[in-house]
Amino acid sequence: MKQKSIKKKYDLTADVYDERYKDIQFEKFKLMLQDIQLHGKILDHGCGTGLLAEFLNTPLFGIDISFKMLKRAKQRRELVVQGDLEHLPFKARAFDNILSFTALQNTEHPDKALNELKRISNRKIILTHLAKFDFSKQINKKFDVQEIRQAGEDIGFIL
Ligand SMILES: C[S@@+](CC[C@H](N)C(=O)[O-])C[C@H]1O[C@@H](n2cnc3c(N)ncnc32)[C@H](O)[C@@H]1O
């Protein structure tokens, strides 16, 4: 979807997002992260309202295109920046762990978003997207896939 429409969609959804999706997203976080050790600098990629910071009970860096979603993430102690996942405002290998939940399928050019993810990653990436989309070819081509998991309505990758 085009960035402008995505931004508009999530700016409009921000007030009801947690009520609608908190339990669903928490279930995905649990399935993907319960046995994973996180270290160092962690980025919440497509952070939305910052539910992940609440789940992990730790401050995180967050990036999202929707200002209204980010306002909520900030209240959850995320250190946020507004930006586009296709053009990340970070240096190469800037983050030890990148956590990306249910955002990739929203990007206009997922391939570009994946290239950017690879560029800024120093270690491990945990990535999920809605399972009704299929980015497996691009993901397999760009990353060393350690594991694939079903995470609710998402498919999850440990990279
Ligand atoms: C379904 S929400 C998931 C939010 C959060 N990861 C969670 O688990 O609750 C998708 C988020 O990705 C963001 N997003 C989508 N496309 C984006 C893009 N191109 N650049 C930055 N953020 C984007 C949206 O604004 C939205 O907050």
> What is the DSSP track for 80-108?
EEE-BTTB--S-TT-EEEEEEES-GGGSS
Instruction: Report how far residue 86's alpha carbon sits from residue 21's, in angstroms, rounded to the nearest whole number.
Output: 24
How much is the average pLDDT of 2-8?
87
* Residues framing ligand 1 (Cβ under 6 A): 3, 6, 10, 25, 46-48, 51, 64-66, 69, 84-86, 101-103, 106-107
We report the CATH number of the domain holding residue 93 as 3.40.50.150
Q: Indicate which residue's Cα is closest to atom 15 of ligand 1.
A: 106
Give the range of the structural domain holding residue 96, as residue numbers without chain letter: 3-12+21-31+38-158
Q: What is the CA radius of gyration of the chain?
A: 14
What does pTM read for this prediction? 0.97
Q: What is the pLDDT of residue 77?
A: 87
Asked if pLDDT for residue 1 goes beyond 80, the answer is: no
How much is the average pLDDT of 67-74?
97
In angstroms, the Cα distances linking 69 to 24, 43, 81, 126 are 17, 16, 11, 21
Q: Indicate which residue's Cα is closest to atom 8 of ligand 1.
A: 101
Kindly state the percentage of the chain with pLDDT values over 70: 99
Q: What is the domain count for the chain?
A: 1
